Structure 1
Amino acid sequence: MTIGGPSDSSPSKNRRRDAARVKAKQLRVSQKKKDRRNKVFLQGGIGIAAIAIIVLVSVIIVNSIKPAGPGPKNMASDGALIGEGMVTVLTPALQPDAKPRPSEPDPTGAVANIRIYVDYLCPLCGDFEEANTEQIAQWVDSGAATVEIHPVAILTSKSAGTKYSLRAANAAACVANYSPDDFFDFSSALFVDQPEETSPGRSNDEIKAVVSEAGVSTARSSINSCIDDGTYESWVKAATDRALDGPIPNSSMKSIIGTPTILVNGKPYTGSLEDPKEFASFVQQALGETYSTSTPTPTPGG
């Protein structure tokens, strides 16, 4: 008998087919398991990626929102008050959500109290500054007047997205905090070659250059860091809202409606911003009216 003849061929084929079916089934089962694993990994990867995106967005949002912090020192009235000898009155920092403490006017009426609300991007503020800063400085230095400067940021959206108005007011607050007696000169220097409204304004480095040009020599490193960090931006926004919402202390004004807003002994100045003689006349008139109402009426035999 010949081994492996025709009589054995059919069972051998059947065994091979059965083995192939088993192998195919095993492959299908294995592929299904692999597909399930890939699906789980894919879903897990999507979930992890989504969580990572949420975390990243949250970090960006948190970092972009500056928590309210204390205001600058020497601006407890929301302004810096400069008196005789160009010396800035020292005050503690205004704490978050605390109400400003208005400066007290001269009780005798003999000293003119000039109050100015300025936006460093405001062209009309620049006009008033150019025409009047020299004579105001002379009056204040001699003790004939005080000047209280309130930086506000009404035009924050008017500088091609750079928020120059806000950054400049923050820089003024930084100088008031660290080098208060240089505040007047720095505030005036911001109006020299003033950027035009709707322009990008000065960069932080250019603002820091103005600090140097204004002759600020105290705590320059701290002031520069304060400018770069936007330390008092939340305070500037709050002070701006207070000025716009009112009321305006020591005045019959309900609120400011724009910049510059100029008050002399509580009376709003509405004359020419570019005529120093007209402003000087208004100051003299306001001073005379205040003095006459502040002077006690003599009593008989007094």
Structure 2
Amino acid sequence: MTNDRSGAQPTKNEKRAAAREKAQQARLEQKKKERRNRYLLQGGIILGILAAIAVVVMVVVSSIPKTYPGPANMLSDGIRIGAGFVAEPTAALQPGESPVASEPTEDSDVVDIRIYLDYFCPACGAFEEANNDQIATWVDSGAATLEIHPVSILDRASLNSQYSTRAANAAACVANYSPDSFFAYNSLLFENQPAEGTTGLDNDELKALAKEAGVAQLGSVETCIDDVRFKKWVNAATARAFEGPLPNADIERVEKTPTVIVNGTAYTGSINDPAEFAKFVSTQSGNAFTDEQKSTPSPSPSPSPAA
């Protein structure tokens, strides 16, 4: 007789086994679900962290000042101006490159004058007031070239307005966009030189002087002034001047402003005695200026023959 349980109800043992199997299957499914949720949660956290990092990186990168080349026409860290106040054109100094010293003039009768100055410096203002007219006469007539190197060492004296840097930047903007207006703009910056211990001229005033100087591309110059586009160049050029070595000079570095170098020799005389400076220029030139140059109208003395 066979034991056929077809259609019979499951025994208690079979029910318990089936229940255990069902419970085990449920536990496996729950573990899979928990594992899946954990992966999703971890993935979401990682994605969130990556997104947060990306935002931080974007903010940091956007806050880093853009690195621009130096101003055009100031490859030597200065702008050289010749006859008729026409500036010598040069390429812009690229980031990371070293300045290239201006080539000596081929005409030995033309005097080379270089001035390192800070537009907030009272001594620079005194030198400018005493000597600008006669320097203008020599440069305009072609008897001398003038190379101006703006530096920034007196920001601390401008009540946190960074006037020295802003003024040097404004001069660099003019050199870049309207180099033949540089001499006029340089003169106006000193004619309107603010006193130390003030905030100096604001950007609107610097832009107004650029307009008065007759700069070309005025809109570009104004934007350049507002953006302080050449701030990093001003800082780097200042460091180079004070660290040295200076090219074609009998001094190693700039130690004060103004530093005036004539045909490679630093001027150590009075900053507000135009006759003394004129004599020094004549001595360094090795010869007197021509009668025609002497007769050029000037309210300041022309150089006298070397002693």
Corresponding residue for residue 278 of structure 1? 276
Per-residue displacement from partner, 1:90-130 (whole Å, max 9, x unpaired)? 00111001111101122442111000001000000000111
Corresponding residue for residue 100 of structure 2? 101
Corresponding residue for residue 232 of structure 1? 230
Give the aligned length: 241
Distance in 2 (alpha carbons) for counterparts of 1:62 and 1:267: 45
SS at match of 1:115: strand
Superposition deviation, residue 56 in structure 1: 7.2
- Matching of residue 264 in structure 1 with residue 262 in structure 2: yes
Corresponding residue for residue 249 of structure 2? 251
Q: Which amino acid aligns with 1:262?
A: V
SS at match of 2:94: coil
Q: Which amino acid aligns with 2:92?
A: A
SS at match of 2:240: helix
Matches within 5 A, 1:60-209: 62=61, 65-209=64-208
TM-score between both structures, scaled by the size of structure 2 = 0.74
TM-score between both structures, scaled by the size of structure 1 = 0.75
SS at match of 1:116: strand
Percent of paired sites with the same residue: 55
Distance in 1 (alpha carbons) for counterparts of 2:176 and 2:242: 23
SS at match of 1:150: strand
- Seen in structure 2, the aligned counterparts of structure 1 residues 63 and 210 have a Cα distance that, compared at 3 Å, is farther
Corresponding residue for residue 300 of structure 1? none
Distance in 2 (alpha carbons) for counterparts of 1:255 and 1:121: 20
SS at match of 2:114: strand
Gaps in structure 1 of 5+ consecutive residues: 1-43, 292-302
Q: Which amino acid aligns with 2:136?
A: A
**Contact (CA 8 Å) 2:73, 2:175: kept in 1 or not?**
yes
Gaps in structure 2 of 5+ consecutive residues: 1-44, 290-307
Per-residue displacement from partner, 1:152-189 (whole Å, max 9, x unpaired)? 11112221001010011000000000001000110110
Distance in 2 (alpha carbons) for counterparts of 1:131 and 1:271: 13
Q: CA RMSD in A?
A: 2.3
SS at match of 1:146: strand
**Contact (CA 8 Å) 1:83, 1:143: kept in 2 or not?**
yes
